[in-house]
Amino acid sequence: MKHIDNNGRRSRAIIANGTIFMGGQVADDLSADITEQTRQTLARIETLLTENGSDKTKMVSAQIWLKSMDDYAAMNAVWDQWINADGAPTRACGVVEMADPRILVEIIPTAIL
């Protein structure tokens, strides 16, 4: 098992048995709107995947947390442009109270190597 970016409380990701399990990924700029936060979050996911020998076509699932379902359509517009439509992962999307009220979207992906 390989821990990626472990800070003693959490690992950004763990590789085990040919699978990359990621913690929740959020945008860097929390003052941005939902469109930009979604773009930044997906870019962060893509970087983690690439750095660890995978890519978005190998995502098997994604949990998406939104601060408000009012952002669902805007988030989906960015997601739909980013994801491989012919090989989209399983997905769930719901509303949660975020750890930081500026976070509008958090995505928790799982991918194979």
User: Any idea what the CATH number is for the domain that residue 68 is in?
Assistant: 3.30.1330.40
- Tell me the residue range of the domain where 58 lies: 2-112
The arithmetic mean of pLDDT across residues 16-38, rounded, is: 97
Residue 93 DSSP label:
E
| Domain total in the chain | 1
Q: Residue 79's pLDDT band (boundaries 50, 70, 90)?
A: very high
Q: Is the model's pTM score more than 0.85?
A: yes
Q: Residue 43's pLDDT band (boundaries 50, 70, 90)?
A: very high
